[in-house]
Amino acid sequence: MSLAPQYDAWADRFEAALMPTYGRPPVALARGEGCAVWDVDGKRYLDFIAGIAVSSLGHAHPALVEAVSRQVATIAHTSNLFLHQPEVLLAEKLLALLGHEGRVFFTNSGTEANEAAFKLVRRHAAGTGRGFVVAALDGFHGRTMGALALTGKAAIREPFAPFGVDVRFVPYGDAAALKEAVTDECAGLFLEPALGEGGVVPAPDGYLAAAREICDATGAVFVLDEIQSGIGRTGWWFAHARDDVRPDVLTLAKGLGGGLPIGACIGVGEFGTTFDKSEHGSTFGGNPVACAAALAVLETIERDDLLGNAATIGGELADGIATLSHPLLGGVRGRGLWLAAVLTQPRAAAVQAAAQDAGFLVNAVQPDAVRLAPPLVVTITEVQALLDAFPAILDAGLEREA
Ligand code: PLP
């Protein structure tokens, strides 16, 4: 008899009713509280992936529940025909956190934030003859056509070509390659401050500053995609703040809404007014409920010093992994609560499955990298539980079929 009868039944129905884009998901989640989640058969897990760096306050956080419940009971939707207070408050708050003048455009997702940024870059370049943009190999910017065109992984991008835009790819982290590619004819440069889907690979020190300099010298628009790295994940509100680099355009999503769908494209300085009236829009973008959720996320991060928590607890997690000695473990990379345990063999899928058996949700982000991105509220006790279990998980990852 199956040990997970509810899972089996729901996964069969999932596969029959949903497009096969996600395969057969390994767990069917029913509910969560803090960093713990329970599946439909009642098994408890500690969540070390937070819905891909999204559930920044963990699950069912009272501040999020209260803000969303209050907003949905007040007014759930206005469309962009009318303004609502949460969007104004949130835009003001994001600009204050960023520390630059600018303007915000709200979206529902990360890919839409990058679509807005891409359109903004092209609008800025209109009439200048600047015909191409530059992005990084192994970078990831989303799955809609514009963001996909910028995504530097051929296997994801090429089945959907052509895109009708000239995107030139450079190796990530190589400032000399950037200098060669970003010329006076370049309209814009799209970079992540660390490759997220590429395996949580931070940029080398000085790389973002070099990118800024090159864009200043050539007039290309510097777009930083902080959709995964932003909103406290690295122990900074924005990962680029550590490098003291100013982007021209910043895109956000994931952790901003703490689980409610929202993204943002922020134009810094003059780029705040590149779009004119009617040049971009979204019916749902900046929806009152999503904005109320995001405000609650930002207030809670501030009130509970979750940036400090991400830095210190993330440091403990990274140090704990670094000191483990295991033949499958090659090291750890990343910052704050955004880490990858690097494997010596391409066994990440097996490690993910072994972790799941042991009651931990982690993510095989690359064949040889296991991503850890727990809620920003994770405690040292929860981190210690994973560290205690990790050697046995790695043992099983070496032995089991992925
Ligand atoms: N940009 C980055 C850096 C991402 O990590 C992702 C998603 O993983 C996206 C864009 C796309 O975001 P979404 O899945 O919300 O469209």
CB 329 within 8 A of CB 351: no
CB 250 within 8 A of CB 98: yes
Q: What is the per-residue pLDDT for 384?
A: 98
d(CA 340, CA 331): 8
What's the CA dihedral at 173, 177, 179, 181 to 10 degrees? -120
Closest residue by Cα to atom 10, ligand 1, is 141
Question: Which residues face 360 on adjacent strands?
Answer: 46
Question: Which tokens hold the place of 116?
Answer: 């807005």
59 lines ligand 1 (CB under 6 A): no
Share of the chain above pLDDT 90, in %: 99
Known catalytic membership, residue 225: yes
d(CA 361, CA 373): 10
Catalytic annotation, pick one of 39, 47, 138, 225: 225
Q: How far is the CA of 328 from the centre of ligand 1 (A)?
A: 29
Q: What is the per-residue pLDDT for 3?
A: 86
| 389 burial level (CB within 10 Å; 0-12, 13-18, 19+) | middle
Query: Sign of dihedral through CA atoms 96, 101, 107, 113?
Result: negative
257 lines ligand 1 (CB under 6 A): no
Q: What is the per-residue pLDDT for 184?
A: 98
Q: What is the per-residue pLDDT for 402?
A: 61
Known catalytic membership, residue 271: no
Closest residue by Cα to atom 14, ligand 1, is 110
Q: How far is the CA of 110 from the centre of ligand 1 (A)?
A: 5
Coil, helix or strand for 282? coil
- For 253-302, list the strands marked E by DSSP: 263-268
109 lines ligand 1 (CB under 6 A): yes
71 lines ligand 1 (CB under 6 A): no
Q: What is the per-residue pLDDT for 2?
A: 82
CA dist 143 → 64, 109, 198 (Å): 28, 11, 15
Task: Name residues of the chain where pLDDT drops below 50.
Answer: none
Whole-prediction pTM value? 0.98
